Structure 1
Amino acid sequence: MPISSTTHVVLIPSYNPGPKVFDTVRAARAQWSPVWVIVDGSNDGSEQTLLQMAAEDGGLQVFVLPENRGKGAAVLHGLEQATRQGFTHVLCMDSDGQHPAAQIPAFMARSQQQPAAMVLGLPVFDASAPSLRVKGRKISNWWANLETLWMGIGDSLFGFRVYPVAPLRQIMQGQRWMRRFDFDPEAVVRLCWHGVPPVNLPSPVKYFQAEEGGVSHFNYWRDNRLLTWMHIRLMFGFALRLPLLLWRRLASRPAVC
């Protein structure tokens, strides 16, 4: 039986995911209730099947956005719904089957133990992971840790995470970024600035080939340009916040007798 919660909800943003989304949703529902899918303007026919699944499953709810706005915008829509319905935390996972639904209970349990923290998946790659993606993410990880004075972000890009709703919603409402591929890394940096500590849990990740039903919307040049611009912006923000970050770091050190 799936674990039910009135505080923690699974949130799955979905844009033209292919048939893997149905397996992803079923796997998530086997572990947790409720599960929400945010259909981000998909035009691949998945919306109809997901709505039918929700009609037959009281633990599943589907929200449909009229046009594609990006992953971050879909998550923000979920945060707004979570606030209205009294949920305090969301576990975000991708719709393409890469993230391990079996680990939902462990991530949720850690969040319930440390509700002020964000619980970040630390990806454990297998042979299916593209080498360029594995090596390239190290650059973003280095910048994200620099921008937070090495607060402990294990991986800035892996989207299997539990966020506290209130601070993330406040951050996103306060600026116009974090709406597309820049959402995951910018969310962790800005939450660290906000005083939300990261907790890292290892998590296997699986990359599916096209013949296995895998779908990727990652565009190497477009999305890396977006990340570059994001880190430029964040470095300016980091410079402005450096005195506060240093003060927090010093204040968190144990007193020496």
Structure 2
Amino acid sequence: MSLSPRHAVLIPSYNSGSLLAETVKEALGAWPDVIVVIDGSDDGSDRVVAGLCAEHAGLAMLRLPTNRGKGAAVLAGALWARAHGFSHVLTMDADGQHPASAIHPFVSRSQAWPDAMVLGRPVFGKDAPFIRVWGREISNMLVGIETGGMVRDCLFGFRVYPLAPLIATMEASRFMRGFDFDPEVVARLCWHGVPAENIPTSVRYPSANEGGISHFHYGRDNLRLILMHLRLLFAWMRGGNRERR
């Protein structure tokens, strides 16, 4: 690992509406290097961001021609970041859920421990939907089993990843391209010996009046998560947690 880690904020976005520009502006206010990956959006949400690129030298925007999923967008951004000399990315959602005020503390912790993942552990407010708070507990319990308790919340997307193991882990698998990305990648990174530090982090859920948008489909995406955990548990029982050896 480089003695001088270089971090970028990575924001994958699919039809995030007006909240994308707000999120990007807040991120730029906290950190100078920001990468936005437009994952096949067709709502025009990237237009303001394109204008911001002319005003901020550290802002880059990538466009994927079709919607490939969150994991695929993160991988595209990670490859771009590595090619441009970055060693780490901090991922944050485009919909205003994650606090830009936490960017600097997370990056600082990563700079002190560059080989580790720095993972947000959400602190929910009163605006958090009940089904989303409690529905994630099953995934957290299973990933806790699969990682020996190293990961305290497997679905919260506000995280710092070291790029080298992140890219290697994703390129070694055809999975982790959609909503299965967040939980599966942390499990597999743990299996490959990447330490994890969990930091409590506030989270908010913008209302529809505020432009809040969710692309999570409870039936389809919960089925994908179930299949992902079956895949991980099978690998874990076969000794997948010894991949690092």
* Range into which the TM-score falls when normalised by the shorter chain: over 0.9
> Aligned AA for 1:47?
D
CA–CA distance in 2 between the matches of 1:244 and 1:159? 25
CA–CA distance in 1 between the matches of 2:5 and 2:46? 26
> Aligned AA for 2:85?
G
Q: Could you tell me the TM-score, scaled by structure 2's length?
A: 0.95
Q: Could you tell me the TM-score, scaled by structure 1's length?
A: 0.91
CA–CA distance in 1 between the matches of 2:93 and 2:227? 24
> Aligned AA for 2:91?
C
CA–CA distance in 1 between the matches of 2:241 and 2:27? 42
> Aligned AA for 1:206?
R
Q: Is the CA contact (8 Å cut-off) linking 1:6 and 1:86 kept in structure 2?
A: no
Q: Tell me the alpha carbon deviations over residues 116-135 of structure 1, each in whole angstroms, 9 at most, x when there is no partner.
A: 11000000000100001100
Q: 2:19 corresponds to which residue?
A: 20
CA–CA distance in 2 between the matches of 1:140 and 1:39? 27
> Aligned AA for 2:143?
A
CA–CA distance in 2 between the matches of 1:185 and 1:49? 31
Query: Would the alpha carbon gap of residues 243 and 203 (structure 1) be closer, same or farther in structure 2, given more than 3 Å must change?
Result: closer
Q: 1:191 corresponds to which residue?
A: 189
For residues 201-220 of structure 1, the aligned pairs below 5 Å read 201-220=199-218
Q: Which segment drifts farther, 61-70 or 48-57?
A: 48-57
Q: Tell me the alpha carbon deviations over residues 138-196 of structure 1, each in whole angstroms, 9 at most, x when there is no partner.
A: 1000000111122x211000000000100010011011000000000001100000100
Q: Is the CA contact (8 Å cut-off) linking 2:107 and 2:160 kept in structure 1?
A: yes
Number of aligned pairs? Answer: 242
SS in 2 for 1:140: helix
Deviation of 1:6 after TM superposition, in Å, equals 6.8
Deviation of 1:211 after TM superposition, in Å, equals 1.0
For residues 1-257 of structure 1, the aligned pairs below 5 Å read 7-150=6-149, 152-241=150-239, 244=242
Residue identity (%) = 54
> Aligned AA for 2:167?
R
Structure 1 runs not aligned, ≥5 long: 249-257
CA–CA distance in 1 between the matches of 2:240 and 2:129? 35
Deviation of 1:244 after TM superposition, in Å, equals 2.9
Q: Which segment drifts farther, 18-27 or 233-242?
A: 233-242
CA–CA distance in 2 between the matches of 1:243 and 1:217? 31
Deviation of 1:243 after TM superposition, in Å, equals 7.3
Q: Is the CA contact (8 Å cut-off) linking 2:5 and 2:114 kept in structure 1?
A: no
Point out the structure with max Rg over C-alpha: 1
Deviation of 1:77 after TM superposition, in Å, equals 0.3
Deviation of 1:50 after TM superposition, in Å, equals 1.3
> Aligned AA for 2:237?
A
Deviation of 1:229 after TM superposition, in Å, equals 0.2
CA–CA distance in 2 between the matches of 1:159 and 1:89? 15
Structure 2 runs not aligned, ≥5 long: none
Q: Is the CA contact (8 Å cut-off) linking 2:191 and 2:241 kept in structure 1?
A: no
Q: Is the CA contact (8 Å cut-off) linking 1:47 and 1:64 kept in structure 2?
A: no
SS in 1 for 2:151: coil
Deviation of 1:57 after TM superposition, in Å, equals 1.5
Q: 1:253 corresponds to which residue?
A: none
CA-based RMSD of the aligned residues comes to 1.5
Deviation of 1:55 after TM superposition, in Å, equals 1.7
SS in 2 for 1:157: coil
CA–CA distance in 2 between the matches of 1:192 and 1:244? 10
SS in 2 for 1:33: coil
Deviation of 1:242 after TM superposition, in Å, equals 5.8
Query: Would the alpha carbon gap of residues 35 and 242 (structure 1) be closer, same or farther in structure 2, given more than 3 Å must change?
Result: closer
